[in-house]
A and B are shown apart, each in its own frame.
Chain A
Amino acid sequence: MRSHWTRARHLAWFNTETGGWIGEWMGHLPAPVVPSTVTEEGRLQMLNAWLQDAQRLITPAGSPYAVTAQLWDLDAWDDCPDGAAVCLDTTRYGWPVGDFQWAVFDGWDRLLDFREMRAYLELTPATAMLDASVHGPRPVRSTPEKIVADVTGTPLEPWVDQLHGRLIRRDGRIVFEPFWPGVPEAVVLSITDRTLDLALLGGLEHAAIPLAERN
């Protein structure tokens, strides 16, 4: 069933009892050999058997294969009883390792379900502007040009699409001036006072924030 060729694969494990994510692994596995005469259901059965065999040597502690990326919830791994996990080959989606961490696997329907839309607020450090917001079921990662904060579940989430504005320095403090009206003062102040878990402000160079114009 194995050949000497290897293929880059992206695997994800879920607990079939809770549906929760356990971990992801990306690396090179020995490629399966499936006779061309085997088609449809038989082919899938052979590939599933190959995957079950190949993943047997992959754990958070290591594997004999060449690894390119991996991410594990070690508590979820430890809490999962023997035989209760499912390993999914998620290569076809082409997403980075970690993108399945909020998905839930329904073993009854064999359905990988992204049930939650998460909310992200984005800051452009070069201009000190909160200027974009995105909702999606997968992680949005910071780049050198954008600092991204996951505000899901925080008091900012309901307002995330209106929380676009400038950060300016006034009297030694960072003040948030929203572009759009209607944002409650308490929400504006929560950014100004940096009292909420808005990690993106922590990544901003103080000097990059422009001084307020004097009236």
Chain B
Amino acid sequence: MKSFFDALAVWTQIPVANRTVEVNTKTGFSLTAGSYSVRASSTQYGNMTLASNTDVTKTATISSVTATRASLFNGGFDTDEATDQNDAVFTRITLTNATTVTATRATSTSSNVIQAFNVAEFF
């Protein structure tokens, strides 16, 4: 009696077209890249809040992008009660990995800071 793996080895040698599998009758036609276009697929907008007296870094999770072809743009920031320059600490934003944007500031202040960003991917 053949073992499962013997049977599998025989099966994998059968040309794909001859194997007993369900045939896809739904598809009328197929298109590879270059035969169709994609629109408005690449831009994401986000905001993250660095909490007062607490946060010097904050992350936001985004849809997956390929870092080598993605650009991160600073969308500006706002504070809730900054009364002097010490309360308005600028943040730096970076694309940490395929799904994470990180905002960093040198020091926490008594103000909440909301940092906006855009991520665009180019093809």
Please list the residues of chain A having a beta carbon within 8 angstroms of any beta carbon in chain B: 13, 16, 22, 30, 44, 47-48, 50-52, 55-59, 61-65, 77, 80-96, 99, 103, 105, 109-115, 117, 122, 124, 127, 129, 131-143, 145-146, 148, 161, 164, 166, 179-181
Return the 6 tightest CB-CB contacts between A and B, nearest first: A136-B44, A132-B60, A164-B49, A51-B30, A52-B30, A83-B28
The answer to whether A138 touches B63, judged by C-beta atoms less than 8 angstroms apart, is yes
Smallest distance from the beta carbon of A52 to chain B beta carbons, Å?
4
Smallest distance from the beta carbon of B77 to chain A beta carbons, Å?
13
Please give me the residue from chain A that is nearest to B36 by CB atom: A110
A residues in contact with B26, CB < 8 Å = 13, 22, 59, 77, 80-85
Smallest distance from the beta carbon of B82 to chain A beta carbons, Å?
13
Number of B residues, CB within 8 Å of A: 49
Specify the main secondary structure of chain B where it touches its partner.
loop
Please give me the residue from chain B that is nearest to A118 by CB atom: B63
Please list the residues of chain B having a beta carbon within 8 angstroms of any beta carbon in chain A: 16-17, 19, 21-41, 43-49, 51-52, 54-55, 58-64, 66, 80, 99-100, 112, 114, 123
B residues in contact with A90, CB < 8 Å = 33
A164 and B64 in contact (CB under 8 A), knowing A87-B30, A143-B99, A146-B59?
A: no
Smallest distance from the beta carbon of A42 to chain B beta carbons, Å?
12
Smallest distance from the beta carbon of A8 to chain B beta carbons, Å?
14
